[in-house]
Amino acid sequence: MAVAPPRRLSKTFQPTSGSLLLPSHSLTSSQVFTVAQRFLSCDKMRGFVLLLALVYSATAQHQALIDYLERRLLAIEDRISLWQEQTTRYASELRELKQQMVSQLESLDKEKETLRMTLDGVGTRVDRVERELDYLETQNGAQPCVDVDDKLIEQQVTLVKEKQKAKYFKLTDCSDMISSIKAMKILKRVGGPKGMWTKDAGGASGKVYIFNGTAEDTINEFSTVQDFTRSAGFSLSTDLKIPSSWKGTGHVVYNDHVYYVNQEEEIKVVKFDTKNKSITDSVVFPVQDHVPVYGLNPETVMDLAVDEEGLWAIFATRQNERHISMAKMDSNSLDVEQMWDTNCPRENAETAFIICGTLYVVYNTKQVGRSRVQCVFDVNDLVTNEEAPLVYFPKRYGFHASLKYNPQEQLLYAWDDGYQILYKLSMKKKLEI
């Protein structure tokens, strides 16, 4: 529908104050109505056009917003898709890594089992080799490398017999010496790493005495070895309270008396009656400047021993600091009858024992190896250190804190890291060297 352009008004159309804009000449009412309609038609058209413009503008902005949101959603979808792909790939890689780790763990378990079996086999072989070495050491003596004249042998035998007769009047006619360790028996484990246990070396009571530790004042007495082995700790023992504490592990029980070492300002040998539970004698050992007798057991300042000939003392002094000394004592009066300086070194010595007047010093290493008798000294000069057999002890737990010989049973009572052990000895005559 065409819209007629507005008609130009006459120049005579002049506005007047306080009146409508009207031409100068007078108009009829119909003409005025027509003009008003035309003005109204133009205003509606303008409003409609303006409305259309506003609608179009709003539609364009809405479309732009929709396009922007669509682009953002597409970008988010792309990222989500990328994340899903990466997650799938990572999950696949993790599954592969898990499978590889499981496979490697199974392989390691198999290798571990193989290594364990190999080590068990090696341990068995080492034990077998040690037993074979023990057998060879105890059964096969050293072979001479030169021929010895028969007359020289006869002279040596005659000299040994003469020395034996000369010493017979001083000590005894005992001529046994250790040949090897025949057997070992571990009875139980009780007490601390260091201590001493023994039976009465001269009596027939069969009682067992436990000295637990290196500086205590209570001895545990058991009626029999069976009571000791089946006792839970010291539950079946009788406590023997001594007036003063002992020092070290060098004590003995002989003819119902305990002989123990006490050290305050001086070293004393104390004799304690197990029946009357009282001290019967006490003497200061007549040697000055004592040093620990064994390099590997510094707590033991003196080691008392009993053999077929009676009571002995094993000690060391600063005057002869590198070597061990020994003395024969009277078990009744505690008098020192005779002393000897031996050629047995203190270094790496762990303990010692005496059999028939022969001192056997046991050595070890600081890394705890196999104990061995490496030095021998015979007061009767029937056995020399070079002629004595090299005796090895079976493999155990640590150091010997003490070794006590029982001449009635020919057994060694050993304390090793809290274990109470018995060694059965194989003996031979000294003239059989």
- For residues 379 and 327, is the Cβ–Cβ distance under 8 A? no
On whether residue 7 sits in a domain, the answer given is: no
Residue 257 makes CB contacts below 8 A (sequence gap 6+) with 271, 272, 273, 274, 280, 331
pLDDT at 293: 95
Q: What sign does the dihedral 12-18-19-20 (CA atoms) show? A: positive
For the entire predicted model, the pTM comes to 0.63
Shared domain for 236 and 349, answered yes or no, is yes
> What span, in angstroms and rounded, lies between the C-alpha atoms of 294 and 298?
6
Q: Are residues 103 and 202 in the same domain?
A: no
The pLDDT of residue 142? 42
Do the bridges between strand 310-315 and strand 303-307 make them parallel or antiparallel, or are there none, so unpaired?
A: antiparallel
Neighbour-count burial of 219, counting CB atoms closer than 10 A to its CB (0-12 exposed, 13-18 middle, 19+ buried):
buried
Residue 211 in any domain: the answer is: yes
* Count, residues in the chain: 433
Please tell me whether residues 93 and 203 are part of one structural domain.
Answer: no
Residue 5 lies in a domain: no
Please give the tally of structural domains in the chain: 2
DSSP for 65-96, written as a single string:
HHHHHHHHHHHHHHHHHHHHHHHHHHHHHHHH
Q: What is the pLDDT of residue 80?
A: 93
CATH number at residue 331: 2.120.10
Residues 292 and 211 in one domain: yes
Give residue 260's pLDDT.
Answer: 96
Domain that holds residue 264: 173-432
Determine, yes or no, domain membership for 147: no
3-state secondary structure of 303: strand
**Domain assignment present for 288:** yes
Q: What is the DSSP letter of 113?
A: H
The strand order across the sheet containing 400-406 reads 176-189, 419-429, 411-416, 400-406
In a domain? residue 326? yes
User: What's the maximum distance between 2 C-alpha atoms anywhere in the chain?
Assistant: 187
CA torsion, ordered 412, 414, 420, 421, to nearest 10 deg: -50
Taking the C-alpha atoms of residue 206 and residue 225, their distance in angstroms, rounded to an integer, is 7
Alpha-carbon radius of gyration of the chain: 56
**83 dihedral zone (left: phi>0; alpha: psi -120 to 50; beta):** alpha
pLDDT, one tens digit for every residue, the chain (433 residues): 444 454 444 444 444 444 444 444 455 666 656 655 665 566 667 677 777 777 777 777 878 888 888 888 899 988 999 999 899 989 999 999 999 999 899 889 888 888 888 888 887 777 777 766 766 655 554 443 334 445 544 554 454 345 434 443 445 678 889 988 999 999 999 999 999 999 999 877 889 999 999 999 999 999 999 999 999 889 899 999 999 999 999 999 999 999 999 988 789 999 999 999 999 999 999 888 889 999 999 999 999 999 999 999 999 998 888 999 999 999 999 999 999 999 999 999 999 999 999 999 999 887 777 889 999 999 988 888 777 888 889 877 778 999 999 999 999 999 999 999 999 999 888 865 4
| pLDDT confidence of residue 228 | 93
- Domain boundary pick from 139, 163, 191: 139
Q: Are residues 75 and 180 in the same domain?
A: no
Distance CA 205, CA 182 (A): 25
Element (H, E) at 211: strand 208-212
- Phi, psi of 373, rounded to the nearest 5 degrees: -85, 110
